[in-house]
Amino acid sequence: MTLRPLTFVVGTGRCGSTALSRVLRLHPDLLSVSELIAALEPDALPEAPLTGTEFWRILATPRSFANRVIRDGIPLPEYRYPHVKGRFSVAGGGIPALCMMTLPHFTDDPDALFDALEPELSRRPAAPVADHYRALFDLLGERFGGRAIVERSGYSLRSVPRLREVFPEARFVHLHRDGADCALSMSRHPGFRLIQLMAERAEATEDLPAGLDALLSDDDADLRPLYERTVPVAEFGRLWSHTIVEGLAHLSQLPAAIRMSLSYESLLDAPERELTRLAHHLGVKPLPEWLAAGSALLDGDRRGTAAATLSPTELAALRESCAPGARALSLAGAG
């Protein structure tokens, strides 16, 4: 098994990491793995050693929330499998977690890739979970190229301590975006509307209104009321701030040499400079043709425009709710 250089791109989610993944995928020496850890939660990183069969079960088991979202017709752009003509379906027992988001980034036939991976991974002997992931990365690297691995999952800042524990050799890139723009994007995303509701439930001193708590716990209940309810955008600013403050505390515990801060706005404004800096951190060369292709994919006109569509009152409340996170980024010297 090859110990390929491994880096995790972590962030709050809705911070530009999908665009960054598209750029990374263009580099011939990088294997860009999208949403692997997110797809496998909450079972992605077990503490005890496990057999190959047990690891494969983690990869292959459908996740109930993902299948509920598809069943109820709630659009989640990260869920790519339903848009291919695969053999798995919600009605037919569910879509394997590995197929939902990760494998469709590599191929238009994720079922064939899924089938090819199964015998190779399931026959492995008992080992720490990191070894099984490294074997998975090796198999993907053999098929799709890349001597260095970059895994990117949304809403992953909270996972930094466990990722560091499981993969002590890994490096980290913290991708962050203007808080107001990020929070507004969260407010329009079904997954983050659920995350915000879970945070609301954790803080509630009494039952949530209109039986929303029951909807969360009942797998047969229609999820659409969770996403159709009105939630002030400032609530997502608070979610963004909390995630940033907590995440920066986690990142501060890592050696400075293995972590890098990357601003989405800087990436849009100066893509060649920032991609060069990123390539050095990932351990690959900033190839001129890659810099040109990556720069062409990054649309600088999108910088800082989303939150400007709000009313002055809404924008003021949103900026206030984002202030703790913005201060934490400033104090950390994030750029």
Give me the helices (H) in the chain, please. 17-24, 36-40, 52-60, 64-71, 97-100, 110-122, 129-144, 160-166, 179-187, 190-203, 212-217, 224-228, 233-251, 264-269, 271-282, 288-297, 312-332
According to DSSP, the residues that pair with 152 across neighbouring strands are: 9, 34
Res 229: pLDDT: 81
Is the pTM value of this prediction over 0.95?
no
Res 269: pLDDT: 93
Residue 104 in tokens: 């469709």
**334, amino acid identity:** A
Which are the contacts of 249, defined by CB distance < 8 A and separation ≥ 6? none
Q: Kindly report whether the peptide bond that precedes residue 125 is cis, defined as omega within 30 degrees of 0.
A: no
Mean pLDDT by 10 residues, the chain (335 residues): 87 94 96 97 96 98 88 87 90 94 96 98 98 97 95 96 98 96 92 84 58 62 78 95 97 97 95 97 97 88 67 95 97 83
11, 74 Cβ separation under 8 angstroms: no
308, 229 Cβ separation under 8 angstroms: no
**100, amino acid identity:** M
Q: Kindly report whether the peptide bond that precedes residue 42 is cis, defined as omega within 30 degrees of 0.
A: yes
According to DSSP, the residues that pair with 176 across neighbouring strands are: 263
**243, amino acid identity:** T
From CA 207, how far away is CA 139, in angstroms rounded? Answer: 48
178, 265 Cβ separation under 8 angstroms: yes
From CA 276, how far away is CA 292, in angstroms rounded? Answer: 11
Res 47: pLDDT: 97
**16, amino acid identity:** G
According to DSSP, the residues that pair with 148 across neighbouring strands are: 30
Q: How far is CA 115 from CA 6, 54, 102, 244, 250, in A?
A: 25, 16, 14, 38, 37
Which are the contacts of 188, defined by CB distance < 8 A and separation ≥ 6? none
Q: Map tokens 């990260």 to a residue.
A: 78
Sheet holding 259-263, edge to edge: 30-34, 148-152, 6-10, 171-176, 259-263
Q: For the chain, what is the radius of gyration of the CA atoms?
A: 20
